[in-house]
Chain A
């Protein structure tokens, strides 16, 4: 039973150090991350993350599915931001097909993506604060998150595994009352961010636990492949929404928060300010929402409306063909990256001209961000490891895929 006795991958380097195993079942590792620590007293000498406990072979599964059947799998990669993954995948397939998406669908995608970002950041803020010992914030964050999940349920029928976007548009028109509900939320949410900040930002205990802890320089962050708030917290000014816009992001005004210090507090400030920017984008999307169709006019790719299927023979045939045979995608390859709440989420899709993708690779932001942990923690106290893990906001489902 070799797998029950895994070979130790880290050996103590000297007599005075010992190996401490943290995880995979540890509440502060946000899933099933195992970390091997070589410690000298309370000081971490070496650190080695060990992953793979959630590996489900999604990339292999994708190769056996039709293009439209992959959408629900993308939800399950990162269960805190399903819409971002949906968006990245459908954008990549649309780029392969050369499809033009109607403006209303693009704006709805932006709206829902920013709500997803808020949702993901709220879970991060609640659990990160709880790891460090501020229990109350968790309850406040989940109060607002619950409202966002209810809005997701309104549009897609699901709270978490939404699968709402389709190749060529989105699945359904949002129901009556959805926009009013979002407007309501956008009205009171900035005040709620003030509440979280009142609990944390100026709190002396919070500052002592986060300021100057787990520092990372900009060169280290770039070299190690960090993206998102983990990179911007070290002072590198890049945000794919602004710099390489997709899905009409170029039509929205927003600031990209940057911090220079590169510590846990800097990353915290980046994300909290991103919450404010996101709610601004949501408001702009509500105000400027264009009228028109929500699906591209591509009969062989986009499923026809139910009404048309009952009255038009061609629609019925197209529906039958898409469901039973899928749709063929021209030969080629694309790499589409979007700014997920955690950083650069990228899909690399290779098509061989059939109805199933030849290869789907997900560039996971957390997978690269996780590599920064040893740089942040080595030479520091054991208690800071928990703060550092929280500050890079990892989701193990996305790391292991």
Chain B
């Protein structure tokens, strides 16, 4: 089964329920799309992430009502360095979509989506703990896995695998 090349053309993908919803809601919020290995990715502008989540959650046709996961990828030394990744699931329609937001290393901060899904709380704390990405509006942004007095953010690529000795 050879791999099909990813599709990044917005025109071809606008029939996907998530793309149709976000583009219909606010076209300038979408900075790109990608369809690869049967998975839909929407690149969302940093300023709109919380509202885009609300728009997808309240979509009457295909409500993406469940937040599966929030995580982050560090592309050090490239810029924009961080990529915050959200995986949403539509329980009624059994669809998945991935939202991605790019963040610069100068100010890795993004609006929290805990007001949309309270379950984002732990996931965002984990990303803050391991990557040092700040979530504005988070009710309790503290380290969750590492000790309170730990220095550095272990999943950053410039953090050695063996740790600092």
Contact = CB atoms under 8 A, between A and B. Distances in A.
Given A368-B119, A400-B145, A348 B39 contact: no
Q: Which of B120, B122, B147 has the most CB of A within 10 A?
A: B122
Contacts of A114: none
B158 interface: no
A333 B36 contact: yes
Interface stretch (B17-25, B43-51, B60-68, B103-111): B60-68
A339 to B, nearest CB: 13
Contact of A358 (B66, B73, B120): B73
A60 B161 contact: yes
A9 B142 contact: yes
B148 A7 contact: yes
Given A51-B144, A332-B36, A334-B39, A368 B122 contact: yes
Contacts of B154: 57, 60
Contacts of B146: 52, 55
B6 interface: yes
Given A368-B122, A371-B119, A55 B91 contact: no
A330 B122 CA distance: 32
B94 interface: yes
Interface stretch (A91-99, A103-111, A135-143, A151-159): A91-99
Interface in A192-247: 222-226, 236, 238, 243-244
Contacts, number: 106
Interface in A56-105: 57, 59-61, 63-64, 95-96, 98-100
B65 A60 contact: no
Contacts of A401: 145
Contacts of A370: 122
A346 B66 contact: no
Contact of A236 (B67, B91, B144): B91
Contacts of A238: 91
B68 A344 contact: yes
A332 B6 contact: yes
Interface residues of A, number: 48
B118 A363 contact: no
B114 to A, nearest CB: 10
A52 B87 contact: no
Given A98-B2, A333-B36, A358-B73, A55 B118 contact: no
Interface string A168-188: 000000000000000000000
Given A95-B37, A332-B6, A371-B121, A51 B145 contact: yes
Contact of A335 (B66, B96, B148): B96
A222 B122 contact: no
Contacts of A332: 3, 6, 36-37
Contacts of B147: 3, 6, 52
Contacts of A61: 161
A100 B65 CA distance: 32
Nearest to B149: A2
B161 A64 contact: yes
Contacts of B91: 222, 236, 238
Contacts of B85: 348
B69 interface: yes
A34 B93 CA distance: 38
A222 B65 CA distance: 8
Contacts of A52: 143-147
B71 interface: yes
A380 interface: no
Interface in B132-165: 142-149, 154-155, 159, 161
B98 interface: yes
B69 to A, nearest CB: 4
Contacts of A57: 154
Contact of A244 (B94, B122, B144, B148): B94
A344 B149 CA distance: 32
24 contacts: A9-B142, A52-B146, A57-B154, A59-B155, A60-B159, A96-B37, A100-B1, A223-B117, A224-B118, A224-B119, A225-B68, A225-B117, A225-B120, A236-B91, A243-B94, A332-B3, A335-B68, A344-B68, A346-B69, A348-B69, A348-B87, A359-B74, A363-B87, A367-B123
Interface of B: 1-3, 6, 36-37, 39, 41, 65-69, 71, 73-74, 85, 87, 91, 94, 96, 98, 117-123, 126, 130, 142-149, 154-155, 159, 161
Interface of A: 2-3, 6-7, 9, 51-52, 55, 57, 59-61, 63-64, 95-96, 98-100, 222-226, 236, 238, 243-244, 330, 332-335, 337, 344, 346, 348, 350, 358-359, 361, 363, 367-368, 370-371, 400-401
Given A95-B37, A334-B37, A361-B69, 16 more contacts: A2-B148, A57-B154, A98-B37, A99-B1, A223-B117, A223-B119, A224-B118, A225-B123, A332-B37, A333-B39, A335-B96, A335-B98, A348-B69, A350-B73, A363-B87, A371-B119
Which 10 A-B pairs rank lowest in CB-CB distance, beginning with the nearest? A225-B119, A98-B3, A363-B69, A52-B145, A224-B119, A361-B71, A55-B145, A2-B149, A64-B161, A243-B94
